[in-house]
A and B are shown apart, each in its own frame.
Chain A
Amino acid sequence: GQNIDQPTEMTATEGAIVQINCTYQTSGFNGLFWYQQHAGEAPTFLSYNVLDGLEEKGRFSSFLSRSKGYSYLLLKELQMKDSASYLCAAMDSNYQLIWGAGTKLIIKP
Chain B
Amino acid sequence: DTAVSQTPKYLVTQMGNDKSIKCEQNLGHDTMYWYKQDSKKFLKIMFSYNNKELIINETVPNRFSPKSPDKAHLNLHINSLELGDSAVYFCASSPQTSGGPSSYNEQFFGPGTRLTVL
Contact = CB atoms under 8 A, between A and B. Distances in A.
A31 interface: yes
Interface in A50-81: 50
B109 A42 contact: yes
Nearest to B109: A42
A101 B42 CA distance: 4
B43 A87 contact: yes
**What bracket does the count of chain B residues touching chain A fall in?**
20 to 34
Interface string B72-106: 00000000000000000010000001110010011
A94 B48 CA distance: 11
Nearest to A101: B42
A31 B105 contact: yes
A97 interface: yes
Interface string A79-109: 0000001010101001111010110000000
A91 B111 contact: no
Nearest to B43: A99
A23 to B, nearest CB: 16
B55 A42 contact: no
Contacts of A85: 41
B112 interface: yes
18 contacts: A31-B102, A41-B111, A41-B112, A42-B110, A42-B111, A43-B43, A43-B109, A44-B109, A45-B107, A48-B102, A48-B106, A50-B102, A85-B41, A87-B43, A91-B105, A94-B55, A99-B43, A99-B45
Interface of B: 40-45, 48, 55, 90, 97-99, 102, 105-112
Interface of A: 30-31, 33, 41-45, 48, 50, 85, 87, 89, 91, 94-97, 99, 101-102
